[in-house]
Chains A and B, each alone.
Chain A
Amino acid sequence: MRRASRDEEFTAFVVAATPRLRRTAYLMCRDWHLAQDLTQLTLARMYASWGRIWRTVDLQAYSRRVLMNAVFDQRKRRSSAEVVSADLPDRPGQPAETGPEVHVTLMRALATLPVRDRAIVVLRHWEDHSVETVAEILDVSVSVVKMRSMRALARLRELLGEDFARQ
């Protein structure tokens, strides 16, 4: 339990966890620089508690929790700055775009979701965490995750069009 070995394990954790945390952060905020900042803040906060957490918590889940809290805080501070959805289709059910650019629309569609619903979609459907783990990370009940996930997917399907949904 010496400082050196704890720091070594932390360094190994940073190397292993950074790329994925940053991608998750990007899917939440659509800005690579912000994603980088949020990731570093997450890791710094974890290091501040490392002696307590390093062998006791599920670091995967814990790091997502710290990250999502950083995302939520950051949004609160910045409040109304983000403007999205201006160029989303007016007619639900119509494909917004087709072809290779459809993912741009996915990111835009994601950005119209309430931030906690977006977190559920990203954690559940990109990160592949179980419903239970997502519930734990976001500190809500399993049924809340299921309900909001269903609602969020329905909303994405609506925005992106049935073609997307059927593929």
Chain B
Amino acid sequence: MTEHLKELFDQALDDEPAFADGDVAARVMAQGRSIRRRRRRRGVVVGGSAAAALVAVVVGLNLGAAPADPPPVAVPAALALIAQAEPRCAWQAGSDDATDVFVVLWEDVSDGQQDALRDALRADPLVRDLRFESRGQAYERFKNLWSDSPEFVASVDESSLPSSFRLKLVRPSQFSEFAAVYAGRPGVQDVIGGVCP
């Protein structure tokens, strides 16, 4: 039955009209931005257990049409950051401003690299409220923030949470400038900004 059913589905789709999909991405991005603005106005925040149920740790990147060489996979870091991000903050694409920043470190960052980064960040006039978060601390915070979604917590391995420097920018509009300086530094995996109220 089910084999045949599939055939019938295919036939039912035979009359599919030709769609001009050329500018779909641009159109939906514009629409998406206005949805985001509305959400922000309503104070809808990142997170929620329904979303958590679908955060299926590490998948999805390798879609057919994705660029042949995806950037060095930062999935655990992105996952970790998003998972443990303050729910009241908007950690999302499309904004070049950030009030709060994670400088995410690689797992094998050396003490020397970490010290050099700390010194540079401390001396940086763009930065205020610098603090370091170890992998253990990050995991603890993650567990607390997501205590209402035990399955999600269980699905994340303790070791997938990176250590990071967390800081606030003096001026949110300086995020691009800040990221450009630190993104390529030794030991740095990613620089991620969010807008917190």
Contact = CB atoms under 8 A, between A and B. Distances in A.
Given A51-B91, A58-B54, A61-B54, A23 B24 contact: no
A59 to B, nearest CB: 4
A69 to B, nearest CB: 10
A34 B156 CA distance: 38
Interface stretch (B29-37, B105-113, B117-125, B139-147): B29-37
Contacts of B92: 48-52
A57 B1 contact: no
Contacts of B91: 51-52
A94 interface: no
Given A3-B94, A16-B66, A106-B8, A56 B78 contact: yes
Interface residues of B, number: 61
A5 B190 CA distance: 13
Contacts, number: 179
Contacts of A68: none
Contacts of A2: 179, 183
Nearest to A15: B65
B82 A26 contact: no
A153 B19 CA distance: 31
A3 to B, nearest CB: 6
Contacts of A47: 28-29, 31-33, 35-36, 93-94
A48 B36 contact: yes
A156 B96 CA distance: 52
Interface string B159-183: 0000000000000000000010001
B5 A125 contact: yes
Contact of B25 (A10, A26, A62): A10
A43 B24 contact: yes
Contact of B32 (A32, A45, A126): A45
A3 B96 contact: yes
Given A9-B66, A12-B65, 11 more contacts: A10-B25, A27-B9, A43-B25, A44-B29, A44-B32, A44-B35, A55-B75, A57-B59, A102-B11, A103-B14, A104-B12
Interface of A: 1-3, 5-19, 22-23, 26-27, 32, 36, 40-41, 43-52, 54-62, 65, 100, 102-104, 106-107, 122, 125-126, 136, 139, 153, 156-157, 164-165, 167
